[in-house]
Structure 1
Amino acid sequence: MELRQRRFQQKYMEGLTTAEADLTVYVHPSKSNKIAEAVRKQLSSLLFTYDELFDGVLLAHKISFRSKHAKILPGLIPYFGVRVRAKLLIFSPKPNMLLEGKVVKLSKESIHVIVLGFSSAAIMLEDIREEFKYKIKHGAECFASSSHKRHRIKVGSMIRFAVKSVDEEIVHISGSLIPPQTGCIRWLSNHKHSADAVSQTNRSLKRYRDRDSEMLDNGDRSQNFSRSLKLRKGTE
């Protein structure tokens, strides 16, 4: 199979894109009387697995045939290439992207999530920000925010998390809840301004730390300069 594709701007969460692709699909001669079925079957065999051809996981496809002519390939079994145009839905998660998924398992050490119904993700304790504390409420495990009482993550919650790394072979994601814009989607959607304020506060604190660090550096340089002047005066 050969591919030339043009990706479009993502419409949903990060990592999920649509693309138009010009494909050449090679079909066995025995399928010459059912070409459309053979092409769809070959593309369907690639669904929900990572493929370097698409640089991601193919989730859905819709094809139209560009020509009634096919190119016959030389060889012992002369396959023929069928040119089609396909609309593709591709899942291609990368580090630092924000993804959404459903919590299916939760323990004191980790949160396990299913993304788009097929890809698994794990968020370990060291990647969960400190405001979330593990608790058992009414017999159910959860991570509850110490800053916002109603911000809880439990089994069945839809959460937004950041991607740390991706194992492309098995489409397994290592995630993080450290960024302030991550957490339970329902709470985030109702308290968007709170999340933005936290993010802005963190940026402000960073600027203050950088400024204080610069002032300390300048102060040290000034003290060193003063000492050198005193030493010089002493020698004179």
Structure 2
Amino acid sequence: MEGLKVSKANLTAYIHPSKTNQVSQPILRQLSSLLFKFSEIFHGVVLAYDLNSLHTCAKILPGVHPYFGVKLKVNLLLFSPKPNMLLEGKVVKVTQESIHVVVLGFSSAIITEKDIREEFVCKTKRGQEVYASRSHKQHVIKVGTMIRFLVKSFDEEILHVYGSLVPDHTGSIYWLDKNLEADSHVYRSKKKRRIVPERIMLEQDAVDGELSTLDIVQKSKKSKKQKHQEES
């Protein structure tokens, strides 16, 4: 899935002198406070962190409460969706007007009716709304389906994604991956069948006025046959 990236950051954590003997505790608390919030500094939502190292040489800050700064090196996993990126999420609600999705278990997304391609039609099956494809009966989107959709925009304040199912390569992940693999297999099979005659033709036409590779092989076999007849 797109929209995820790892960023290396050099940070400074400011610790109260009373925590001198337990430096790691307040540092981890400060890092945890960044989780699942959009950071303008890192241009994304912080999903996880990995503390690589902290500088033991702390700098005392002057003031009434002289905090000291500790240098940190941290790897941050960021969620930063941009327009036209492909995201994946689980469908949690389907109505005539929209499809509601949860991405990575925390970010909500909505795909309105105008952003769902005409191939899909909303139907009621077994008391629940589903979007079924007119072209492919097995391509169905319902509650619980994992879908792949295109990002239109991202609201950084409420961590809300506005998506689209207009492109052909969006929809049910299971159906898309299954049919993509089948199409790829058919393509490879057709390609293999085309290679043999094209390769022979190229070998035959490669040399003008001289024996081609195919001719040489045929002549070699004929010579062996003639040699066998002469020996008998």
Fold conserved between structures, TM > 0.5: yes
Is 1:89 paired with 2:67? Answer: no
How far apart, CA to CA, are the structure 2 residues paired with 1:62 and 1:31? 21
8 Å contact from structure 1 (residues 180, 195) kept in 2: no
How far apart, CA to CA, are the structure 2 residues paired with 1:79 and 1:54? 25
Report the alpha carbon displacement of residue 51 of structure 1 after superposing the two structures with TM. Answer: 1.1
Q: 1:181 aligns with which of 141, 157, 169?
A: 169
Report the alpha carbon displacement of residue 29 of structure 1 after superposing the two structures with TM. Answer: 2.1
- State the secondary structure of the residue aligned to 1:68: coil
Residue 141 (structure 1) aligns with: 129
Deviation digits for residues 7-62 of structure 1, max 9, x if unmatched?
A: xxxxxx11011122221112222222211111111010111111112111111111
Q: 2:16 aligns with which of 15, 24, 28?
A: 28
Give the residue type in structure 1 aligned to 2:55. S
- State the secondary structure of the residue aligned to 2:23: helix
Report the alpha carbon displacement of residue 194 of structure 1 after superposing the two structures with TM. Answer: 7.8
Report the alpha carbon displacement of residue 193 of structure 1 after superposing the two structures with TM. Answer: 6.0
Deviation digits for residues 64-114 of structure 1, max 9, x if unmatched?
A: 334211111222221211111112111111111100000001100000000
Residue 92 (structure 2) aligns with: 104
Q: Among the aligned pairs, what percent are the same residue?
A: 59
Larger radius of gyration, structure 1 or 2?
Answer: 2
Q: 2:104 aligns with which of 116, 127, 130?
A: 116
Distance 1:56 1:31, change over 3 A: same
TM-score (norm 1): 0.75
Residue 55 (structure 1) aligns with: 43
- State the secondary structure of the residue aligned to 1:178: coil
TM-score (norm 2): 0.76
- State the secondary structure of the residue aligned to 1:155: coil
Residue 206 (structure 2) aligns with: none
8 Å contact from structure 1 (residues 181, 195) kept in 2: no
Task: Count how many residue pairs are aligned between Structure 1 and Structure 2.
Answer: 184
Is 1:19 paired with 2:35? Answer: no
Residue 79 (structure 1) aligns with: 67
Report the alpha carbon displacement of residue 192 of structure 1 after superposing the two structures with TM. Answer: 1.2
- Which consecutive residues of structure 1, in runs of 5 or more, have no partner in the other structure? 1-12, 197-236
Residue 140 (structure 2) aligns with: 152
Is 1:65 paired with 2:53? Answer: yes
